[in-house]
Amino acid sequence: MIPGPALSATRLPGTMTEEPERQSPKKGASADTDTALARPGDQSGNWHRRVWALAAPIMLANLTTPLLGAVDTAVVGHLPDPRFIGGVAVGSLIFSFLFWGFGFLRMGTTGFTAQAFGAGNTAELRAALLRPLVLAGGFGLLIILLQVPVRSFALWAVDASPAVSGEAAAYFDVRIWSAPAALTNFTVLGWLLGVQRARTALLLQIVLNGINIVLDLVFVLGFGWGVAGVAWATLVAEVTAALLGIGIVLHSLGRLPDREDLKRLLERGPLIALFKVNTDIFLRTIMLLLAFGVFTSQGAGLGDLTLAGNAVLLQFQTVIAHGLDGLAHAVEILAGGAYGAKNRRTFRQAVMICGLWSLAAAVLLSLIFAALGPLIIALFTDIVAVREAAGSYLWWVVLSPLVSVWSYLLDGVFIGATRTAAMRNAMVLSLGCFLAATWILTPMLGNHGLWLSFTIFMIARAITLGLYYPALERSATDETAGKV
């Protein structure tokens, strides 16, 4: 079992015979020794340390994902035909889009769990895990049952060569069976983050990707299984991580679910809330995917060279997302805990401190891109024409961290508070601004107009969510005003 921090007050369910719906921490109780975090609703604790105790492990976990992608590419790159690389690339792309659509299982779970953790509601803390676990299993099985039409549509949409499509199909036919485990991992990750066990989440991610990398080498280079070997490595790693993760969270809760827990799963109010939150996040994710799809499509209409240059520059945007994601998760957890405790003062502090660190990280990224941008572009391509195309629009991604940071931060705040209807509505307005901007600016300014439209999209996301923020903060009723 992977060691991890105790759950502080939330560890009580395993040691109590009676479970009050809401518990207050015992006077003089020590903080979580691993994360060094005070209880979310408290005013104590060093805020800067609290933020980075959560953000740093998440950032480190993010770094393991591109490493895994590099190993996948490297092992099939030693095979004798380029179709193997293409097959893994297409297969991975299909599952990235397929599973990303179920990202609400992670985000919604973190929000509900953080609020139950902040409120000291131990019974709801268990329910916040069990409800999405049931959904993860159900959706995973549904994906498996629909694998034939899903595969046919995905391969048709990608429209790769017959040789690449054949390898991608072989990859798909194996990895599709990991769907329940992959979605379970989303839920476990969300719950661990909600109870502020970021180090445990990091260790689970390292185990997942570590097993995957080792099995890549064994199955592909050792056994000669080709592209299917990459898929088998991912399948085994996902299942192992899911079983390990479930074991960790059940151990943290102290006991297996009982009849009362199962009855709680069927309570109408929480089920409706879960359905609304998950639906809102799903719709918001689809609109976000649509925006990136339009960006790519518009770039393709400007020529292959522009398309290739934009593809390189979007890797910078991926770095921005990974770099700021840890702080967005930190505000998600801390603000969600304070919101659950109905502590407006702590809620505001969490947003302000995470906002300051997010801005600092954004400035650092912009400086790095400005100073090293051409060198970074050169790492992605040896083609001089593509380098020049990307370099012509580099300053847009130099500006991007300073523009994007606010939408990432506010996304975390609203996810933590499970105010996802506002996120959905804000994304509708932002997508409308983006589509209108591309329609007007791209014909006028070419690729500069397309990047300006993308910048407007990120600004619109921040402004529209910002308009909802005052009401959100007011709803975090301060029950501890005047108290230490």
> Is there a single domain that holds both residue 231 and residue 277?
no
Whether residue 2 is contained in a domain is answered as no
> Is there a single domain that holds both residue 142 and residue 224?
yes
The answer, yes or no, to whether residue 80 has pLDDT greater than 60, is yes
> Is there a single domain that holds both residue 281 and residue 262?
no
> Are 322 and 365 within 8 A, CB to CB?
no
Lowest pLDDT segment from 298-312, 396-410, 462-476: 298-312
CA–CA dist 192, 184 (Å, integer) = 12
The answer, yes or no, to whether residue 1 has pLDDT greater than 90, is no
Give the pLDDT mean for 411-436.
93
Give the pLDDT mean for 210-231.
89
> Is there a single domain that holds both residue 225 and residue 103?
yes
> Are 461 and 402 within 8 A, CB to CB?
no
pLDDT band for position 73 (50/70/90)?
Answer: low
- pLDDT at res. 180: 95
Nearest to 373 by CA among 306, 320, 298, 299: 320
The answer, yes or no, to whether residue 170 has pLDDT greater than 90, is yes
The per-residue pLDDT for range 81-136, each reduced to its tens digit, is: 777 877 887 788 788 788 877 888 888 888 888 888 888 888 888 888 888 999 99
Here the tokens at position 67 are 């490493």
pLDDT band for position 255 (50/70/90)?
Answer: low
CA–CA dist 107, 112 (Å, integer) = 9
| Sign, Cα dihedral of 169, 170, 172, 177 | positive
- pLDDT at res. 450: 94
Last residue of a domain, one of 266, 287, 319: 266
- pLDDT at res. 258: 66
Q: Where are the alpha helices (DSSP H) in 341-446?
A: 344-380, 384-392, 394-416, 420-445
The answer, yes or no, to whether residue 16 has pLDDT greater than 60, is no
The answer, yes or no, to whether residue 350 has pLDDT greater than 70, is yes
SS3 (DSSP) at 448: helix
> Is there a single domain that holds both residue 420 and residue 318?
yes
Top mean-pLDDT range of 126-140, 290-304, 432-446: 432-446
- pLDDT at res. 68: 63
- pLDDT at res. 141: 96
Q: What is the mean pLDDT of the chain?
A: 81
The per-residue pLDDT for range 230-247, each reduced to its tens digit, is: 999 999 999 999 999 999
Q: Where are the alpha helices (DSSP H) in 226-267?
A: 227-253, 259-265
Whether residue 29 is contained in a domain is answered as no
Q: Where are the alpha helices (DSSP H) in 162-219?
A: 162-175, 179-194, 198-216
Q: What proportion of the chain, given as a percentage, has pLDDT over 90?
A: 35
Whether residue 194 is contained in a domain is answered as yes
The per-residue pLDDT for range 364-385, each reduced to its tens digit, is: 999 999 999 898 888 776 778 8
The answer, yes or no, to whether residue 421 has pLDDT greater than 80, is yes
> Is there a single domain that holds both residue 332 and residue 419?
yes
Whether residue 10 is contained in a domain is answered as no
The answer, yes or no, to whether residue 2 has pLDDT greater than 50, is no
Q: Torsions phi, psi of 221, nearest 5?
A: -80, -35
> Is there a single domain that holds both residue 338 and residue 465?
yes
Nearest to 39 by CA among 144, 116, 141: 116
pTM of the model: 0.74
Top mean-pLDDT range of 8-22, 55-69, 154-168: 154-168
Farthest-apart Cα atoms in the chain, separation? 71
pLDDT band for position 289 (50/70/90)?
Answer: confident
- pLDDT at res. 453: 96
Whether residue 30 is contained in a domain is answered as no
Lowest pLDDT segment from 254-263, 344-353, 376-385, 430-439: 254-263
- pLDDT at res. 367: 95
CA–CA dist 245, 208 (Å, integer) = 10
Eight-state DSSP code of residue 82: T
> Is there a single domain that holds both residue 70 and residue 114?
yes
State which residues form the domain around 100.
45-266
- pLDDT at res. 370: 93
Whether residue 363 is contained in a domain is answered as yes
CA–CA dist 236, 225 (Å, integer) = 14
Nearest to 226 by CA among 86, 65, 67, 64: 86
Angle at 168 between CA 202 and CA 139, to 5 degrees: 55
> Is there a single domain that holds both residue 166 and residue 106?
yes
Whether residue 222 is contained in a domain is answered as yes
Whether residue 454 is contained in a domain is answered as yes
* Residue for token pair 């996301």: 461
Total domains, the chain: 2
> Is there a single domain that holds both residue 309 and residue 324?
yes
Here the tokens at position 146 are 């629909």
The answer, yes or no, to whether residue 24 has pLDDT greater than 70, is no
Last residue of a domain, one of 266, 290, 322: 266
Last residue of a domain, one of 240, 266, 292: 266
Higher pLDDT, 26 or 105: 105
> Is there a single domain that holds both residue 198 and residue 332?
no
> Is there a single domain that holds both residue 178 and residue 322?
no
pLDDT band for position 432 (50/70/90)?
Answer: very high
| Sign, Cα dihedral of 23, 474, 196, 425 | positive
> Are 165 and 81 within 8 A, CB to CB?
no
